[in-house]
A and B are shown apart, each in its own frame.
Chain A
Amino acid sequence: MSHPAVLRTLRHATITALGFALVACSADDAIRPSPIPSRGIVVLDGYVQPGLTLLGDTGTSSTRLALGSPAEFDAALFTLERDTVLAVSSRSAGDQLFIADLRAGTVKRVQLPVEGNGTRARLINGNGTARVLIALRDSQSVVNVAVPATGEATITRIENVGQCPIDAFRFENATWVVDANANCRTDYSAIGPVRLIRVPDAGTTRDTIVLSALRGSAAGVVLKGDVAFVTAIGDADFSAFPATLNAPAAIAKVDLRNRQVTAQQSLPSGAYFAVARLGLDNALYVSYYENLTTFTERVMQLRDDLTLAGTSPTSPSGWRLFFDENNAEITCGSALADALGRVHCVSIGAASATSVLVFDQSGKLVRRVAAGQGGVDLALRP
């Protein structure tokens, strides 16, 4: 066989082999999309395959709305305002704002200032040009992001708002900033108590409200009328083995109109990583880890005066007790209740498989439904 003939044969053989490869490649068992429910449960799957899992009030069918790859999305919390979901990726995932329209099933991304290191976004105006408020931990600033329906977003900053601004909201012509008061740019060690900083739209006078019982590198706020409930995760030192808890998670109630702390309450000894959510029943639900040894998730239901609601079975330490179909105690996190007082929460199983659990007022499991992988937060669409 001549050399050109051999080469021709080889070329055909190679192309044929690659053709086989491409044909084999075309088969897959991919997830198929299904219609988005107009109400129900929204779960943020924050890692593995970041996205939103949308569940109806009944049944087991779910809809996925992808938010990006793990290299682009790492949010552990999200904000739901009607049909809009807001979430922010940190500096480790590229500092991006994600705006998901649940009705349209679309996601828009906005580049935030590089190494701003945001955690949570708040929608302050959803009509026309959306305006979003984001505290940036590493730049000691809060940004106001104007996102038009079409075109580029514009960003304005409020500078020098604490050591580690971690959450922000609007109240009466002022921007209020939750300052974790920690070294968020370096090792997240606590500097001092969490603070609430009021930045008025007019004038230069700022008010700082010190929340003396609250410490930790992360904090968040729940608004209820003219009251802000601020939770701090607690101050833990993970740099040595075993880890130590310097201050447990705590919650404070702030009268925004009078700019006063009206109540503060530490969670049970050992409590860490507390996050509060407002249920559709108007009660506060605080999810946290019981301790730094087992990281067992617990849920506490509080009244507005930060005392225990005491309406359901609770442990001596005050957390709600939940039971499965066999009456065995089970635990979960990211909890809040619907208007009927039924607690909805997230349970992580093997391989980060996520389930939403629903308990009646007596703490008995009434629903368990799969919700993707890596669930970190949950909200309810009424």
Chain B
Amino acid sequence: MSVFLLLAIATAPMRFSSGSLADRAATATVAPAYGAQRDSARLCLHDAVSGTPVVGATVVTTVGTQLLASDCARLPVGQLLIRRIGYRAQSVTLRGDLQVALTPLAARATLDTVRVVSADDDDAAQGNRLSATAARERGASTVPDLVSMLPFTQLQQTRGATVLSLRGARREHTVVTLDGIVLNDPSTGLADIGELPLTAINGASVHPGAGGGAIGGVLALQSTTAPLIMSRVGAFGERAAEATARLVTTRVIWHGGGAFMERRNDFSFRNTSAAAETAPVEQRVNNDESRASLFTTLLGDRWRVMATASRIDRGMVGAMNVRTYDHDRGRTDRGSLEAQAQVGGAQLRAGARVFHLEYRDPMRPAFDNDARAQVLHADISTRWKRIRWASGAGADAMRASNGLRQSRSRGYISGSIDEQLAATRVDVTARVDAVEGNGVLPTFGLGASRTLRAVDTSLLPGIDVRARVAQAVRVPTLYDLYFSSPQRVTVRALRAERVLYDAELATTLAWKPAPLSVALSSGLVARRVRDAIVWFPGNFSWSPANVGIEQMFGVESQLQMASGPVVLDGWFSWYDSWLTSGELRIPTPYVSRDAAGARVALERGPSTLSTNARFLGRRPFTVGPRDPLYELPALTLVDVALSHHVSLSRFSTLLSLSLENLTDQAWQSVRGFPEPGRRWSVALFLTPRSAR
């Protein structure tokens, strides 16, 4: 508790003073020059993917160059060039007040190789994204909270880590990026989406489908430079504080912050794995966790440096009926340093990430383990005539105290063309990866979208159709390689998984008769993967192997409605995803055939009442044939939140009360690992009024 209070107290003054500095800097650079002139207009910038405000852009006007400390500024009318590191430069003509959506380069760099209809280009996909601000108003105070509000997401939680499955794929098939930087651990292929605090995030978008090393899809997180203070208390001993601050000079914007969270997680649960005929009610032990993180960004006209560091300590509790892990502890440290620069027409990027995992078993110190992984990478992206090029190289390494050592280098080159051919927009992409030990791995993508009827205010719907087919490849993780033989003695050849095709055919119908706005998007999806890398447990045969063909057919549908103060987002997916090996037909573990979600928000004045409901069908939990005995039951989870804005002289405050799992469902995300029942949290957010 003392750490919690210290952090909150220590960061508060910094936050307040920096807000003032930001205010003064913004005033100094923008307001005196044009604020009072009649030939000026207001320009506001936001992220085209997350929809959140973008600060730190450089605007080249007829009278000079300015670094904007805010997302909005008053500028002279006329031709403007807007530059922001990490975003595509845009030239606009300012005649009156103008909102400009900046397209993030990094998100495209990750997705571009096969994703030909990306969210930033496609109105139908607007519901695939959510800003952190909107999520907070709907009760979210962590990144997993935010992601659970995104469509087509299936979260899995065990031992404090939260991972994501998309489009009927396994969890290691989802790539998580922060500003285009892949966050997945090269050792395991997984990314814990709870690693980053929500205050470091501007917003998130989810992109189901293969591409950029992802087989199931990409969760793209965007960082923020907005100052904010958050304090939260909740059930089961949850306490959290997060604070970010911003300092602005005429040349550089500094943004940094820290976060701390701890919770006991000692909730009651029904032990359905016990030998007793009636499942006894027990209390979870050694399930606590604490997370601390620091992050900072320096942003200049044509460069950016970002660093993050985090530490997670947690009890490594076992399955509900197993007591042998009741003393085990785990610690995960992560760090990253990323630099970007704009040189001429090219964007350069280089970075390093480190992971350190400690496992401690006080009862059996011989099983203590330390594992370290390092990632280095450098990329360049540019445009040559109509082709956008990107290429990069990197290296991954891992070593552990049990003698495990793996390393490899990798590189890629990709090109894409995005053309408007009459009424049809066409994207063609090609990418070649070269990974040490895996050879050269080419992938291709092709997509097209066409507006058959533009949306208007009549009762006839606007109609968009789009089609996409893409390939992807996923090389074995470093753990896969190490354990790909019985008892780690001989390394059995393990080939890369290859998405032969990931196809999608979708249509969007949109109506906008005032005051109603409706968009209904539906699509058929299919995927076929060769050489799927699957772990089959056993005694002396515990190892991953290339096993058969993995296939998926499915339907994805999404509905968005808005009418005055009421906003509804709903989605439904049905996936039949299975692995074929010899006579065996094995459904993909932990993927429910049917899933649905709905978000409803009712805004009235400064208050928002929202609910987020998620339905998960039965989920198989083994790598065996479908059998109801080995499936987790279907369930519906309902979260409710009430938030209220209060404007103070220098701050905008948001008070949020959340009730998660309102109906107190007893459920398991991963077999044997119970989730808490009904729980509450109260969060307070403070934003300086000068931050906007």
Hey, which bits of chain A sit against chain B, CB under 8 A?
1, 3, 6-7, 10, 13-14, 17-18, 20-22, 24-25, 27-31, 46-49, 66, 68-72, 76, 91-97, 109-111, 114-115, 117, 183, 185-187, 189, 238-243, 273, 289, 292-295, 348-353, 370, 373-374, 376
Known A24-B574, A48-B537: A29·B626 in contact at CB below 8 Å: yes
- Give the complex CA separation of A238 and B592 in angstroms: 38
Contact A71 B672 (CB under 8 A): yes
Neighbouring A residues of B163 by C-beta, 8 Å = none
Main secondary structure of the interface of A (DSSP, over half): loop
Q: A48-B622, A370-B583 are in contact. Are A350 and B516 (CB under 8 A)?
A: no
Write the residues of chain B forming the contact surface with A, with a CB cutoff of 8 angstroms: 273-276, 318-324, 363-367, 402-404, 486-490, 516, 534, 536-541, 545, 547-548, 559, 561, 563-566, 568, 570, 572, 574, 579, 581-586, 592-596, 598, 600, 602, 613, 615, 617-618, 621-630, 634, 636, 671-672
B626: chain A residues within 8 A (beta carbon): 28-31
Residues of B within 8 Å of A273, CB to CB, are: 540
B291 to chain A, nearest CB (A): 26
In the complex the two chains form, is B273's CB within 8 Å of A69's CB? yes
Interchain Cβ contacts under 8 Å between A and B, 16 examples: A1-B563, A17-B570, A17-B572, A18-B596, A21-B596, A21-B617, A48-B623, A49-B630, A94-B319, A96-B321, A292-B487, A293-B489, A293-B490, A353-B582, A374-B537, A374-B538
Which residues of chain B have C-beta atoms less than 8 A from A110's C-beta? 275
Q: How far is the CB of A186 from chain B (nearest CB, A)?
A: 5
A350/B538 in contact, CB under 8 A:
no
**A131 CB → nearest B CB, Å:** 18
Given A3-B565, A351-B623, A92 and B489 contact (CB-CB distance below 8 Å): no
- Which of B540, B561, B618, B626 counts the most A-chain CB atoms under 10 A from its CB? B540
- Whole-angstrom CA separation of A373 from B624 in the bound complex: 7
Q: Which A residues are in CB contact (< 8 Å) with B541?
A: 295, 348, 352
Q: Are the CB atoms of B584 and A187 closer together than 8 Å? A: no
A31 CB contact (under 8 Å) in B559, B574, B625? B625
- Identity of the chain B residue whose Cβ is nearest the Cβ of A348 in the assembled complex: B541
Whether A6 and B275, one on each chain, are in contact in the complex, defined by CB atoms closer than 8 angstroms, is no
Instruction: Report Cα–Cα, A348/B415, bound state, in Å.
Output: 45
Complex Cα spacing A31 to B585, Å = 11
* Chain A proximity of B73: nearest CB distance (Å): 37
Q: What A residues does B625 contact at CB under 8 A?
A: 31, 49, 373
Does B366 contact A13, Cβ atoms closer than 8 Å?
Answer: no
Closest beta carbon of chain A to B143's beta carbon, Å? 26
Given A30-B626, A351-B579, A351-B581, CB of A111 within 8 Å of CB of B275: yes
Q: A31 to B627, Cβ gap below 8 A?
A: yes
What 10 A-B pairs come out closest when comparing CB atoms?
A71-B672, A187-B366, A94-B321, A351-B581, A49-B624, A109-B275, A71-B319, A111-B275, A25-B617, A91-B324
11 extra interface residue pairs, beta carbon distance < 8 Å, beyond A66-B630, A292-B487: A1-B563, A10-B568, A21-B572, A25-B592, A28-B626, A49-B627, A111-B274, A187-B364, A295-B489, A352-B538, A374-B538
Rounded to whole angstroms, the CA-CA distance of A28 and B593 in the bound complex is: 10
Q: Are the CB atoms of A350 and B564 closer together than 8 Å?
A: no
Task: Give the docked Cα–Cα distance between A31 and B625 (Å).
Answer: 8
Q: Which residues of the other chain, A, contact B563 by a CB distance below 8 angstroms? A: 1, 6
B363 neighbours in A (Cβ, 8 Å) = 185
Minimum CB distance partner of A20 in chain B: B572
Provide the residues of chain B in CB contact with A76, threshold 8 Å: 539
- For A349, list chain B residues within 8 Å (CB): 582
On chain A, the residues within 8 Å of B275 by CB distance are: 96-97, 109-111
A97: chain B residues at CB < 8 Å are 275
Taken together as a complex, chains A and B put the C-alpha atoms of A1 and B596 apart, in Å, by 26
CA distance A370 to B320 in the complex (A): 33
Q: Which of A10, A94, A242 contacts B489 (CB 8 A)?
A: A242
Which chain A residues border B404 with CB–CB below 8 Å? 241
- Inter-chain CA distance A68–B272, complex, in Å, is 11
A186-B366, A352-B538 known; A373 vs B584 contact (CB < 8 Å)? yes
Given the known A-B contacts A29-B585, A243-B487, are A24 and B617 also in contact in the complex, defined by CB atoms under 8 Å? Answer: yes
The complex places the Cα of A289 from the Cα of B539 at a distance, in Å, of 12
Asked if A350 and B548 sit within 8 Å, CB to CB, the answer is yes
- Which listed residue (A22, A47, A69, A238) contacts B634, Cβ 8 A? A22
Q: In the bound complex, how far is the Cα of B487 from the Cα of A243, in angstroms?
A: 8
Structural contact, B628 and A28, CB atoms closer than 8 A: yes
What chain A residues lie within 8 Å of B581 (beta carbons)? 350-351, 353
List the B side residues contacting A70 at CB < 8 Å: 537, 622, 671
The residue of chain B having its C-beta at the shortest distance from the C-beta of A236 within the complex is: B487
Find out whether the CB atom of B622 lies under 8 angstroms from the CB atom of A49. yes
Find chain B residues with CB under 8 A from A6 CB.
563-564, 566
A322 to chain B, nearest CB (A): 19
Give the complex CA separation of A70 and B545 in angstroms: 20
Residues of A within 8 A of B367 (CB): 186-187
- How many angstroms between the C-alpha atoms of A352 and B537 in the bound complex? 8
The CA-CA distance from A348 to B543 in the complex, in Å, is: 13
Q: Are B594 and A25 in contact (CB under 8 A)?
A: yes
Pick from A1, A47, A350: contact of B582, CB below 8 A: A350
Give the residue name and chain of the B residue nearest to A115 (CB): B324
- Name the distance in Å between B393's Cβ and chain A's nearest Cβ: 29
Q: Which residue of A lies closest to B516 (CB)?
A: A1
Could you say which residues of chain A place their CB within 8 Å of the CB of B618? 25, 28
Q: Kindly provide the distance from the CB of B568 to the nearest chain A CB, expressed in whole angstroms.
A: 5
Establish whether residues A351 and B322, one from each chain, have CB atoms under 8 Å apart when the complex forms.
no
A241 to B491, CA, bound (A): 12
Known: A3-B564, A69-B273, A353-B584. A25 touches B593 (CB 8 A): yes
- Chain A nearest CB, measured from B655 CB (Å): 23
Taking a contact as CB atoms under 8 Å apart, the answer to whether A21 and B594 are in contact is yes
- What residues of B have a CB within 8 angstroms of the CB of A241 in the complex? 403-404, 488-489
Which residue from A18, A114, A374 sits with its C-beta under 8 Å from B636? Answer: A18
